[in-house]
Every structure is written in structure tokens, then in C-alpha cells.
Amino acid sequence: MAYTQINPATGKKFRLIGAPVVKKDAKALVTGKPVYTDDLALKDCLIVKVLRSPHAHALIEEIDCKVASRVPGIECILTWKDVPQKRFTMAGQTYPEPSPYDRLILDQRVRFVGDAVAIIAGETEAAVDHAMRLIKVKYQVLEPVLDMHDSKDGKILVHPEDSWKALCNVGADNKRNLCASGGETHGDLEAAFAGCSHIVEKTYHTKANQQAMMETFRAFTYMDVYGRLNVVDSTQVTFHVRRILAHALDVPKSKIRVIKPRIGGGFGAKQTVVAEVYPAIVTMKTGKPAKIIYSRYESQIASSPRHEMEVKVKIGCDDNGILQAMDVYTLSNTGAFGEHGPTTVGLSGHKSIPMYGTPKAFRFAYDVVYTNRMSAGAYRGYGATQGIFAVESAMDELAAQMGMNPIELRKKNMVRQGQVMPAYYGETANSCALDRCVDKVMEMIGWDEKYPRKDMGNGKVRAVGLAMAMQGSAISGVDVGSVTIKVNDDGFYSMTIGAADMGTGCDTTLAQVAAECLDCPVERIEVLGADTDASPYDSGSYASSTTYITGKAVEKACQKLIARILEIASGMLEAPVEELVFASDHVEWPKEQKSVSLEDIGTKSMCGNGCALEVTESNTSPTSPPPFMAGAVEIELDKETGHVEILDYKAVVDCGTVVNPNLARVQTEGGLVQGIGMTLYENIQYNDKGTMLNNSFMQYKIPSRRDMGNIQVEFESSFEPTGPFGAKSIGEIVINTPAPAL
């Protein structure tokens, strides 16, 4: 289904923006072409695996690798004595990273069950597995801190080392087990609560959960003929990988090239450089190609799941239901290392409190603490998911206390277009269709007929729930998107990007933006990337940034390229540039009724030409316009067993202008399924020694399509003036409504 929309700049209908264009890589993927990292790895690669700690907290006293090293086919075994001792972070964030430098490639101190102890590389998997069993490690077992409530200023330090450091002032202090700490207050909170006639104060707890992408963590590495380390990597952050590896390996960035093939899912997990350093150090040490393929077991116990958070919410309103004050405190468990710890926690308040535009005062405070559990990282929603669950649940409880329909309470208080959002860095909601999203989803779910519940008379009850959500579009003032576009001698275009298509279809949507600008079919746009040697710099595909940030870079590049095309056509037609008109596959000189084809212009650029038909443009934004969403669910609850069956889930999204409705719809459906899984099925659990119990899909349950009931997604578009053709983001917001709605 196409969404016919008008381009405000021309007053005409868009040709390709809003069209359900098929993904450029669709045929290759469904026919099983070799496109993923392991498909492309050299057949004689060394196989790399990691020996992992059985203890949550320990010091390695001795490692005996003598017998293991004599196993036929073993190339090398590396311990903490054999690798650089420079601390770094695996967080794929723009430099300087807010996440502390608290890791080593291999450390004498292990900090969670699954932490890396040794790296084994060999010619076959069987040889590596055999050698791993022969390595003897003597540990001094230490007492761990497993509960995040015991961490801050506790007696056990997760990072007692003096080499720990924080590059940014995020309130981190390793001697207090703090990865980050801070907050802000707006208005007179005490006075605002004093004026409330109804107050709810509750604590909400969200567990960690895994991204569970189909393609596990993996990378393969080799040295090229110039003595440079090449990394073929399943990653969302190609350029960040280069910087992180250069720092960890203690080599210049110029000596590393990172190439991203197709990615079999990421959801934020691959914004953390979980596995790449292990084959990289093996190749650096041996000169031989190497690869690592995480098993599902490793991806469960030693990866980068969502941060466990406890969110305390206090909200109050007057007799009319108008919110007066909001107070949110978040305690976040970053685990053994601080990847994304200081940044995820901010979204728990900055993406939940601003959904409501009426409070006179708010406070948001947080602590992010180290524990001896697997370190957390980025996961779709990135802290907003946890905060929105808490705030929206508190709103429902406030409505119940007042005897008010929870939708009525939301309508009285929700942010609306044109309002300033103090809790969202003072930004203005220049594009906001949240009110229309709520109205539409109420109609779709049949709220008025079904609320609050219906007793089925058989021990089961049917009920409905609704939640709102917001997110952002890139990190304001930080993220950078860039593209290079050139005209080839046959008149088609090549567009090189640094953004990482991880199944989201950004290769296709960015091509749609280019084709709209250049007035040509999408098939005339060939998309290449991402490759740190060939692509222009791009922060990467995270923070819901690609369509908004990189899409605008495409728009800017196309405008500059058209000017270059007109410049060459001017010489060919002997016409003033200002009298020429770019018209899809040719340039016209209306005054003299002459024209020259784009094919001829491309060919001309190859001979006697001083004007390159190639441009590179970058884009960043001082603002991060939020997309908005409303989601509503109908469930059937068995009162005797507690079993919940989802009958219906309706969602309406405001992502600005919808660039590709098919891709936007499957993005939304996928996010809803993940949110439902987080709420009803997924639950990372540890025993009292810090060992994870859910180390496979037999124990860690993710929902299948059969668990979802009926899902229906619609769009209620606004127009974002700073986005490409009015577009905002959609990637993350879609996971945020299931938990509070359910």
C-alpha cells in the first residue's frame, strides 16, 4: 500500500517517497546467495574460540597452556600476558565515548561467568575444542556483587584498578562501583507536589533481555598485501569498530579496514564490538586469516543484553487530572563493564517524561552501577523502553486511583505539536501527531466497547490496555551521516554510504530518497557500503538515525550533484547554467529547445572534463525530532492459571513522512513482537553463583508468530521540517508500547 503524500517544496505528489519499493537485496537473501560474514570468510581461516570463566569474580593465578599448545593444528593460545594492556570500551559510540574505558582484551581479573580467559586459534574447530579442554587455570575466587542494590558504595569493587578511566564527565567513579550518576530538576518540585490532590508513587522493575538476532556475533580478519588488518564484520558501527580495534590493539587506525556485508539482525547488539577483537589479535599475532563465530550459547552468556533497570516513579495531578509534577529515579545495572551504561539510562527519563506537556516541575535522577554479571549494552529502545514502561504504568495507576478512563487522563496531558518539551533538552515538538495516533488506535481496538474488561463466564476475562511512546531521531549535535553519489558513464548513479543496513532496508530507503531527488527510477541508484576505506564517514546505524540523518545527507548530495550535471551540460549546450533545467534523464535548455542526455553527460565527464560528477555530503542535526506512537492490546486472561493470550494488537505510528510503508510496517511488527516477548516470555535469570540459567533457546523463550495474535499497524503522518521530505525515525519507538499496554 502506497501512502500518497505531497511534497511541500513543489506542491506535487511524491513519486517514490511513500511507495512500497521492494528491498534491493531481497532476491539475494531469499535465494540464499553468499552475502553474510561467514559466507565470505576464507576457507582456510584459523578458527578462533574463547575460553571463558566459570566464576563471577576471580583473579587468574596461573594458566598452563603447554599441553593444549601441542594439540595438532593449534596455531596459538593467548592469555592476558600476551595481549596489549590498554583499557578500552566495546561501546560503538562517537568519540570521546561516554562509556568508561574499563576493558582489556584479556584481563587477569575476570568479572562475570563467561568473561574471556584465553583465546585459542587453530586449523579446525575440533582441534580448538580439544585444546580448550586441556588448558588448566588456577583461580583465586573472589566474592562477587550480584545484586545491583548492593553495588553503589558497597564493600566489593568490580573495577578496583587504577588504569580504569572515564573520558567524559558522566558521574562515573570506579571506586564507588558507579558507571554513571546524575540528574536534573526543572521547576519547584516540592511546591508542585504540594498542589496535587492525587499522587501515585511506585517502583517498576525491568529485567535484562537478549536481542536474540538470528545471526550471532561474528567476524573474520586477514592481512592484505599492504600489511593492513582487514575486518569483515557483522556490525552496525563500521567506523567505530575501526577506532575501537585500533585502540585495543595499539595500532594506528590507518592500519585497519572494516567492511560490513549483509547483517542477519542486530537490534543494538552489534553496536557493541563483542567479538571482533579476538580474531583481530590472532591475525595480528600470526599474520594468518582468522574467524570467530559465536555459538548461541556464547551469544546468551557473553554478549550485550538490555540493561536491567529499576525505575521509581512519583506523579501527581489536580482534581481535574492535570499533571502537576513528575519524579523519576532510575537504577541501572550495567554488569561487569560499562558499555552504553551512561547513555541508555538517560533515555529512561528523557524519553518518558516529555510525553506529557502539563507538569509544572519534574526531576530525573539516576545511578548506573557495576555488578559481576554479563555486561549490558544497546538494545532497541535503549533505555526509553524501560522508562516508558514505568511512567505509562504509573499513569494507569493514577487513572485508577481517580476512577478515570486512562485514555482521558492521557488526552488531558499528552504533549502536542508546537509545545516546548523541557525534559527533552528543551526541544519543541515541531511534528507531533500523538493525539491522532491515540484516537486512531482507540478506534482500531474498539476501546469504548471493550474497556475496561468483559467476563467471559468461563473463568476467563478479556481486557484492553493502551500506552503511548516517543523516541528520538539520532543523537542531536553528535551523529553524522554521509553519502557519496556519482554519475557513471552510462547515466546511472552509484551511491556509497557508511550507514549499516542490518535488515532494516536502509539501502533501499536511502535509494528512494536519492531517486526522488534525481527524478529517476530506484533501479538507477546502485548502493554500496559500508567500507571504512571507500565509504564517507558515518556514525553508524543506531539511535534511530539512518533515515533522518543520512537521508538528509542524500538530499543535500543530490542537490549538489544536479548543480554539477548542469555545469557540464552548460558547456555541451553552450548555454548559461541558469537557463538549464534538470529533467530526470536529460538536461533541457527550454529557450532554444535543446537538450542533452544524462548518458552523454556521463560520457563527456570522462574526456576533457574538469568538473567531477561526484559529490560527498555530510549531515548532522542540532535537534532530534521524536517519533510518536500509540499501541493498544486486547488479551484474554485465565484467572485460574494466569495464562495470558494476546488476541489483538493495534499500533499507530507517527514517523513523519513514511518513506517506505512496507519496510516501516515490518519494522513496527518486529518491534511489537520483541516488546511482547520482553513482557510475557523473556527473563534472563542467574543462580546464586552468577551463572546464567537461560543459556539457550530451550530455556530463554522468545515468542513465535503463533504467540502474537492479530497485529495491525497503521501510520498517522506528521511532517518534520528538518528531516528528508519530512521523515523522522521509526526503528526503536516500535518496541516501547507492549510492556505498559500489557
> What would you report as the CA-atom Rg of the chain, rounded to the nearest whole angstrom?
27
**pTM score, whole prediction:** 0.96
Phi, psi of 234, rounded to the nearest 5 degrees: -85, 90
pLDDT of the residue at 502: 87
pLDDT reported for residue 385: 98
Q: What is the mean pLDDT of residues 443-472?
A: 97
Instruction: Name, in order, each residue with C-beta under 8 angstroms of 487's C-beta and a sequence gap of 6 or more.
Output: 493, 561, 565, 598, 601, 602, 605, 613, 614
Nearest to 238 by CA among 480, 598, 60: 480
Confidence band, pLDDT 50/70/90 cuts, at residue 1? low
Angle at 101 between CA 96 and CA 107, to 5 degrees: 155
22 Cβ contact list (under 8 Å, min separation 6): 508, 662
Asked whether the beta carbons of 558 and 491 are under 8 A apart, the reply is: no
Tens digits of residue pLDDT in 569-619: 999 999 999 999 999 999 999 999 999 999 999 998 888 888 899 999 999
- Provide the pLDDT confidence category of residue 2 given band limits of 50, 70 and 90: low
User: Is the pLDDT reported for residue 316 higher than 80?
Assistant: yes
For residue 63, what pLDDT is reported? 98
Non-local (6+) Cβ contacts of 31 within 8 A are: none
Interval 523-549: pLDDT, tens: 999 999 899 999 999 999 999 999 999
Name the least confident of 100-109, 189-198, 494-503: 494-503
Which element (helix H / strand E) includes 427?
A: strand 427-428
User: pLDDT grade, residue 6 (50/70/90)?
Assistant: confident
Rounded-to-integer distance, Cα 169 and Cα 11, Å: 48
Contact of 462 with 450, CB cutoff 8 Å? yes
d(CA 509, CA 487): 19
Q: What is the pLDDT of residue 250?
A: 97
Q: How confident is the model over 606-650, as pLDDT tens digits?
A: 888 888 999 999 999 999 999 999 999 999 999 999 999 999 999
Q: Give the per-residue SS3 of 702-724.
A: CCCHHHCCEEEEEECCCCCCCCH
Instruction: Name the pLDDT band for 85 (thresholds 50, 70, 90).
Output: very high
Give the pLDDT of residue 676.
96
The mean per-residue pLDDT over the stretch 98-115 comes to: 98
Please give, one letter per residue, the 3-state secondary structure of 559-600.
Answer: HHHHHHHHHHHHHHHCCCHHHCEEECCEEEECCCCEEEEHHH
Classify strands 493-497 and 481-487 as parallel, antiparallel or unpaired. Answer: antiparallel
Cβ atoms within 10 Å of 612's Cβ, excluding its own: 11
| Mean pLDDT within 93-99 | 96
- Is there a contact between 502 and 263 (Cβ–Cβ < 8 Å)? yes
Residues 242-262: tens digit of each pLDDT: 999 999 999 999 999 999 999
Question: What pLDDT, on the 0 to 100 scale, is given for residue 49?
Answer: 98
Examine the pLDDT at 124 and tell me if it is beyond 90.
yes
Residue-averaged pLDDT of the chain = 96
The helix or strand, by DSSP H or E, that contains position 416, with its residue range, turns out to be none
At 4 the pLDDT is 59
Burial of 144 (0-12, 13-18, 19+ CB in 10 A): buried
The pLDDT-based confidence of 9 (bands split at 50, 70, 90) is low
Q: Distance from CA of residue 243 to its chain's centroid?
A: 19
